[in-house]
Amino acid sequence: MSDQNSENEVDDLVYSEDGETFYEYEGIVPYLEFPDGDTQEIYQGTKHPFTNSRFMDAESIIEDARDKAWDLAGEFSEGYLENIPKEKVDELDKLLADWFDTNVGQPDFYSVKNIKKITIHKEDVQS
C-alpha cells in the first residue's frame, strides 16, 4: 500500500519553467532546452484538485434568492429565507455537491502547492 501512495504522490507532481503555469511531466520536461549546459532549473509543485463544492454553497444561493426577492418585492420580502436551521443549510450543500458530482463530474483544473525549484539534468530527459 505504501508503494501506491508514493506512486500517487508522483502522479500529483507538476512542473513549470516560470513558477506560474504548471504542466504534467510529459507536457514540459521532455521539451526543456538546456542553453547553459547540462542542467536546467525549473519549478516542481504538488497538484491539488478543486472540487465542485469549492465554488458553490447553500449560503450563497440563499443570499442570492434574498437579493432577488428584495429587488422584486422590496421591504415586503424582509425575513424571506431567514432563520433556516444550519442542518438544513448543510443538507442543501450536500444536495448541490451530489448533483454536480453526479451530473458534471469534478473540475479538471487544480491549484499548485509546495512549489520548489529543482534541477533537471539533460541526460535524465528522454527525447
Place of cell 451530473: 103
Q: Are residues 94 and 117 in the same domain?
A: no
One digit per residue, the tens of pLDDT, for the chain of length 127 reads 334 434 445 569 999 999 999 999 889 888 888 887 888 899 999 999 998 888 889 999 999 999 999 999 999 999 999 999 999 999 999 999 999 988 998 899 999 999 999 999 888 875 5
Q: Are residues 103 and 59 in the same domain?
A: yes
**Cα–Cα dist 31/34, whole Å:** 10
Range of the domain at 46: 1-50+109-127
Q: Are residues 80 and 123 in the same domain?
A: no
Cβ-contact 42, 117 below 8 angstroms? yes
Global confidence as pTM: 0.66
